[in-house]
Amino acid sequence: MIGTSATSLSNNLRNNLTLQGDQDFAVTSPPRFVQHPTIPIAAEARFTDAAAPAPLGLAVRQEVWADNRPFNNKYIILRYTLRNTTAQPLSNVYVGQCAYWDVGIQTLTDSVRYLAAQYLSYATTSEAQPDKPHAAIAALTTQYGVQAFAARADDFRYDLRTNKFDALSSPDSSFVNKGDVMHLVSQGPFTLAAGDSITVAFAMMAAGSLSELKQQASQAAVQYGYWSQPQAPLAGNNWVYPNPSAGQFYIRNESLRPGAYQLEVFDSQGIKVLSQKIDVQSSISDTPLTLTAAPGIYLIRLRGQEGSTGSRLTTKILLR
């Protein structure tokens, strides 16, 4: 859902107690898989809110990111870039991700909780099960205000846009017990000047316990921070990010063998400005690189030591 008021709300949420929903978004580019240098599974689509009764004038790019490797395969990341296509600023804008869960096998056993420290709203069941299912929504771009709302699914008036905007903009982290549930995590309010864009991101996830769910939420936040940064390739699945940076970089390793490496940094004149040894402890890791030097373009070289790969990996980074 996206809205600025009860009368200016665009959504695809159901509008009554049947499965029929509002159809406020018009697809301009259908979903398709895209190649990404570091994200194993990536897709995108584009749409506008031109089909809404009172369009806001937004063009939206939706990206979906996923990872099929262990420890990362129980969540997906949804990133939305909203652009104001009108000639006027849009104020009091909220963006929310909503879900309707039927977690338990029996009726009247589901409940919702909100963990403010992780911006995580989750549904679970009171049924006794060996692996108790949990399903959740988390906000990842937490520099904006974050709101959470929950209600019994059959008690919420989906036909009233006033109710929908209240859910989108009014925090309500009270517990909801005993029933199929709907809940929503939203971000805002923010203002979009004419022609400007803003990006918000959410994670949707599932787990067999609360502790596993918290772990998945933390992992999703870490991966989003890595995947969303501009990067410079070192070779294979190894990257330097963010690029450019004010001086704090990270070397992301996803294919180097554990061992000792020599890291060297050269300026545009070929003068070595940094040389240090680093130890790669695992096949997936982030090694910090702090560069104190004048702004400019630098060359990074990573050389394997005895007992590790002998290849040289190089890339360029921008210090600003």
pLDDT at 18: 57
For position 152, which CATH number holds?
A: 2.70.98
What is the domain range of residue 116? 2-227
Over residues 15-44, the pLDDT tens digits come to 765 566 788 999 999 999 988 777 889 999
Whether residue 274 sits in one domain with residue 250: yes
Q: Is the peptide bond before 242 cis (omega within 30 degrees of 0)?
A: yes
pLDDT in the model for residue 251: 82
Q: What is the pLDDT of residue 10?
A: 95
Count up the domains in the chain and report the number: 2
Q: Specify whether 260 is located in the same domain as 194.
A: no
> Cβ contacts of residue 64 below 8 Å, gap of 6+?
31, 42, 43, 44, 76, 77, 78, 79
Q: Out of 227, 257, 279, pick the residue that ends a domain.
A: 227
286-298 pLDDT per residue, tens: 788 899 889 888 8
* Kind plus residue range of the DSSP H or E element containing 234: strand 232-235
Residue 212 and residue 114 share a domain: yes
Domain identity same for 91 and 130? yes
pLDDT in tens, 107-122: 667 888 899 889 999 9
309 shares a domain with 220: no
**Residue range 250-284, pLDDT digits in tens:** 887 766 777 788 888 998 888 999 998 888 776 66
Q: Kindly report the pTM of this predicted structure.
A: 0.76
